Amino acid sequence: MKTQLIKIAGLASYLIILGALFNFNWILILNPKPFFSVLLGMLILTASQYKKAYTKDDIIYSLRWNLIFSSFLTTLISILSSISTMKLSDTGRLDITESILPMLYGSILYLILNILFNNPIKVASKENSSESAVKSVNLFEPALSQRIFIEYGLTNRECHVASKLLENTSNKEIAAQLYVSEATIKKHIQNIYQKFGATDRSSYKEIYIKEASAVVHTIS
């Protein structure tokens, strides 16, 4: 909240500097009609587009765009109204100063919305999609595990043993399934740990999951 207040203060300072440079009459913005016209237009347009599936980010995104359209349309209609009624200034020229106030209000409100709800929607969605892709894929599926085992230089027999380790199968059960002695299985496991840079089943599994996740990220 403190950061947002600092940003809003920065925006206010910038507007004051612009006003001073161009001798802007700030009394003009005290006219409530253009402000409420823009605000009302934004709310009506957003409400007309609202869907039950909308998230908070969707609503903020819709408010931002509808604020732009509302300020533009309000300005356009106000200018056309001034032309039709021929509002002349003291110099005899058409005065549209008040007519373009909606654009000023729209710009300021848009910047304030960006400050208050500064959510990188597109970037976040991309990151979330990558995370979802990892979660939706079985990191222990045979095709993926075989690819990783080959990259680490495991032999065919070691690949079988490595798969069983991921399934939390005991040494005795692995030996029985592969029709070899437990001593042979222990030797294979030592080779697997050495190639993966692991010290036990837990660290081996952690390294495997990390590698499998990296592969899925690359594919997605």
pLDDT digits (tens, 9 = 90+) for 67-125: 888 888 888 888 787 777 765 555 556 566 677 778 888 888 888 877 777 644 444 44
Domain boundaries, the chain: 2-119, 132-219
CB 169 within 8 A of CB 161: no
Q: CA 201, CA 195: separation in Å to the nearest integer?
A: 13
On the question of pLDDT at 174 being above 60, the answer is yes
Residue 94 β-bridge partners: 88
pLDDT digits (tens, 9 = 90+) for 8-21: 788 788 878 887 88
pLDDT digits (tens, 9 = 90+) for 17-65: 887 888 877 777 777 888 888 888 888 988 888 877 677 778 888 888 8
* Helices assigned H by DSSP within the chain: 2-21, 32-49, 56-85, 101-116, 121-136, 142-151, 156-166, 171-178, 182-196, 201-219
Domain formed by 132-219, architecture: Orthogonal Bundle (1.10)
Query: Which of 189, 199, 210 lies closest to 139 in space, CA to CA?
Result: 210
pLDDT digits (tens, 9 = 90+) for 126-160: 444 444 544 555 788 888 889 999 999 999 999 99
CB 105 within 8 A of CB 67: no
For CA atoms 76, 81, 83, 86, give the dihedral sign.
negative
